[in-house]
Every structure is written in C-alpha cells, then in structure tokens.
C-alpha cells in the first residue's frame, strides 16, 4: 500500500498529484476510475501513473522529521498546500507543539461527531442482522442426520440474506469515513498553511 507522500520519477522528472490537478477534467475522471477506493488510492503510485499516463520509478517517504528527506519540489508543493485532498503528513513532525495541541483539540469534536453518526449505523446493521442469525440458529438446532450438508445450506442462506444488509452498511460507513477524513485533512492543512504553526525545519 502506498503512503503519503508518494511520487513517480520518470525521465528525470517528478510526477505527483496536487489539489489543482484533481480539480481538472482528468482529475474528475481519475476519481471515477478509482471509485470507492479513491480516498485510499489517490495518494498512490497507481493513481499518479494513471493520471499522467506514465510508468516510472515508485518513490515515497513518510519521515517528515526533516524536509531534507524529500526532493525540494515536493517540499515546495507541501508548503504551498498543494497536497490538500490527497493526504496529510505526520502532524507531530511538521507542526509546532502549540499548533499540534491546537490541532488535536480541534480534531476531538470532529471525531466525536463521526462516532455519533457511526453508532446508529452500527446499531441499525446489528439489529437487522440479529433476526437473520436467530433464524439460522433456530433452524440449525432442528437438523438431523444430514446435519453437515443441511448446516452448510442454512449458513449459505443466512449469508445471502445478510449480504445486502452488510453492503448497505458498508456504503453508508464508507461515506461517513470519507466525510470525517476530509474534515480532518482540511483542519490540518488550514493549520499547516500558517507558517508560524510549522515546526522549525518546515518554516
């Protein structure tokens, strides 16, 4: 799995995605191409190569303790906020202690909101799943000598009935997860874009 920041080296040039590129027709096409995996895959080499139509050397670095760990072009892009909507670095390494504390403080209500919205989704899914499983268990208890074959048939029936419930639950949870991740990322970049909030190395 690719991590943030990822880039591709091809013919002595660096290729990486930025917020501006994602706001183009090609960026919207890429979002459709990635589908439900968009939030995770947008930061990866596959997305970069698909967007630019290239194949190259896959590069990535997750050590944000020093800008020297990255090509100067990547550092410049990061300082300009170009990676908003793609990923965020290790907040504790790029923000001052004060800014990092402020970020965590502001992050808390976002997570609380996410949890409050996730709880009824979980409860709804579990409540709908429960009678299906109870029905399966009650039928299982009545099986006779053909236990194994009948058990497998019952379990397959239970899984087929559960499948659409789980698919519906996943689609709602994925949407909720994406919304939370987006708000969290926006919060980070809003703080990071103020130079005074950056760790000394990233000024």
Token pair of 142 as six digits: 């009545």
3-state secondary structure of 13: strand
* pLDDT 10s digits, 103-117: 999 999 999 999 999
Share of the chain above pLDDT 90, in %: 71
CA distance 112 to 182: 15
In the block, tokens 């499983």 appear at 133
Instruction: Band the pLDDT of 59: cuts 50, 70, 90.
Output: very high
Average pLDDT value for residue range 51-70: 94
Query: What's the pTM?
Result: 0.72
Max Cα-Cα span within the chain: 75
Instruction: Provide mean pLDDT across the span 71-82.
Output: 95
- If pLDDT is split at 50, 70 and 90, which confidence band does 55 have? very high
The better pLDDT of the pair 144, 12 is held by 12
3-state secondary structure of 53: coil
Predicted local distance difference test score (pLDDT) of residue 1: 67
CA distance 135 to 161: 11
| Residue 97 pLDDT class (50, 70, 90 cuts) | very high
Amino acid 157: pLDDT = 87
SS3 1: coil
């Amino acid at each position: 799995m690719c991590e943030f920041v990822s880039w591709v080296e091809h013919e002595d040039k660096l290729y990486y995605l930025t917020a501006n590129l994602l706001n183009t027709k090609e960026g919207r096409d890429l979002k459709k191409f990635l589908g439900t995996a968009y939030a995770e895959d947008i930061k990866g080499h596959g997305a970069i190569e698909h967007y630019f139509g290239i194949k190259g050397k896959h590069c990535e670095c997750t050590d944000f303790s020093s800008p020297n760990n990255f090509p100067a072009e990547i550092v410049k892009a990061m300082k300009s906020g170009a990676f908003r909507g793609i990923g965020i670095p290790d907040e504790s390494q790029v923000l001052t202690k004060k800014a990092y504390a402020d970020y965590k403080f502001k992050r808390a209500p976002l997570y609380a909101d996410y949890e409050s919205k996730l709880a009824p989704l979980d409860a709804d899914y579990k409540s709908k799943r429960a009678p299906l499983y109870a029905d399966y268990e009650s039928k299982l208890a009545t099986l006779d000598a053909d236990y194994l074959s009948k058990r497998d048939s019952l379990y397959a029936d239970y899984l087929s009935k559960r499948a659409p419930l789980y698919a519906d639950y996943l689609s709602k949870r994925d949407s909720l997860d994406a919304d939370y991740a987006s708000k969290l990322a926006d919060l980070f970049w809003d703080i990071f874009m103020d130079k005074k909030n950056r760790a000394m190395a990233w000024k």
